[in-house]
Chains A and B, each alone.
Chain A
């Protein structure tokens, strides 16, 4: 029986491999276009600094994706698409690449909002007391002091009970 040795390799030619040679291009090989196969949701999102948001990549064949926020100052990603925004406000691109075939990519837009303004204070209002209120256990309850402290005074009522009065001198005393 005759044996044969084929020397095909040097002369092989790929005529129409989409994305690799000529011919038509299937969606998975297109670049810079919405390939309609892999999608990321939500595609537009706004988050507050430090807030987390779950992104989801969908592709018909299942599997997982690798996530990135670009530029990288926008925050961080955990492995499952959970995005945590940084404190740098602005617009960022969320990119997902399919781990089973990195030719498949999808992206979304995330905006990190400005930090929320601080709560309004009322410096014109003088609080009833500059002292802390303590509960029965002695732990601090309501330790926030707003405004200007006023010295407390004490007085004794007609029954002899000590009454704590705050910041005013009763008329006649």
Chain B
């Protein structure tokens, strides 16, 4: 008589370090007295762990907890209505905890598809940030 495998176990899977580069964005305003153009590009480097619970043969649901290093590269240009302009560029970094749900689907013995939502904060004002990611996981 065989022993049935438990249907709900928690698997702790250390995910690889994830590096994410997000699309840059430009914001600009022509409002007096200080018309301004602000270019920003956000990137992150995360290292954490997934706590997964199988909910069927192919599906697993869990939680990711990661330490994330956020980087924001910015170029700020101001062009006052009185004339002249000033441009400065710089990159700022912050380390914050990130938490979010993870859903995985096993396509084959080696291939999985996963989706993640991640909530974190960055910046000197602890601005909230939410990310979504869909990825392929190859196990070997």
A interface residues with partner B (beta carbon < 8 Å):
2-9, 11-21, 23-24, 26-29, 31-33, 37, 60-61, 66, 68, 70-72, 91-93, 95, 97, 99-103, 105, 107, 109
A-B contact pairs, 7 of them (CB 8 A): A14-B131, A17-B130, A20-B22, A20-B24, A23-B130, A93-B33, A97-B78
Cβ B20 vs Cβ A17 within 8 A: no
Known interface pairs A19-B40, A26-B123; A13-B80 also in contact (CB < 8 Å) = no
A109 to B125, CA, bound (A): 27
Is A28 within 8 A of B127, CB to CB? yes
Interface residues of B (CB under 8 A from A): 13, 15-16, 18-25, 27-31, 33-38, 40-42, 72, 74-76, 78, 80, 82-86, 88-90, 92, 114, 116, 122-125, 127-140
Instruction: Give chain A residues whose Cβ lies under 8 Å from the Cβ of B131.
Output: 12-15, 17
Known contacts A3-B140, A6-B137, A20-B42; decide if A105 and B89 are in contact (CB<8 Å).
no
Q: Across the interface, which residues of A come within 8 angstroms of B86, CB to CB?
A: 68, 70, 95, 97
CA distance A31 to B26 in the complex (A): 10
Q: Is the CB of A16 within 8 A of B25?
A: no
Q: Of B18, B22, B38, which one neighbours A17 at CB under 8 angstroms?
A: B22
Q: Please give the distance in Å from A165's CB to the nearest CB on chain B.
A: 62
Across the interface, do B20 and A19 meet the contact criterion of CB distance under 8 Å?
no
A-B contact count (CB 8 A): 184
Check if A5 sits within 8 Å of B82, measured CB to CB.
Answer: no
B106 CB to closest chain A CB, in angstroms?
A: 12
Among the listed B20, B28, B37, B139, which residue makes an inter-chain contact with A4, where contact means beta carbons less than 8 Å apart? Answer: B139
Contact B40 A20 (CB under 8 A): yes
Q: Given B21, B90, B134, which contacts A99 in the complex, CB threshold below 8 Å?
A: B90
- Tell me, in angstroms, the Cα distance from A125 to B72 when the chains sit together: 72
- Chain B residue, CB-CB nearest to A24: B128
Using A11-B133, A95-B80 as known contacts, say yes or no to A18 and B34 having CB atoms under 8 A apart: no
**Nearest Cβ distance between residue A78 and chain B, in whole angstroms?**
16
Report the bound CA distance from A91 to B80 in whole Å: 11
Query: What is the CA–CA distance of A18 and B13 in the complex, to the nearest angstrom?
Result: 31
| Interface contact A95-B78, CB-CB below 8 Å | yes
- Interface contact A27-B78, CB-CB below 8 Å: no
- Tell me the nearest residue of chain B to A10, going by C-beta: B135
**Contact at B124–A28, with CB atoms within 8 Å?**
yes
Select one of A2, A3, A37, A105 contacting B76, CB under 8 A: A105
In the complex, A4 Cα to B11 Cα: how many Å?
A: 14
Q: Is the CB of B138 within 8 A of A66?
A: no
> A70 is contacted by which of B21, B84, B124 (Cβ under 8 Å)?
B84
Max count, chain A CB within 10 A of own CB: residue among B72, B82, B127, B134: B127
A9–B21 contact, CB under 8 A? yes
Which residues of the partner chain B approach A23 to less than 8 Å between Cβ atoms?
128, 130
Q: Assess whether A16 is in contact with B128, with CB atoms less than 8 Å apart.
A: yes
Knowing A3-B140, A5-B138, A32-B34, the reply to whether A12 touches B76 (Cβ < 8 A) is no
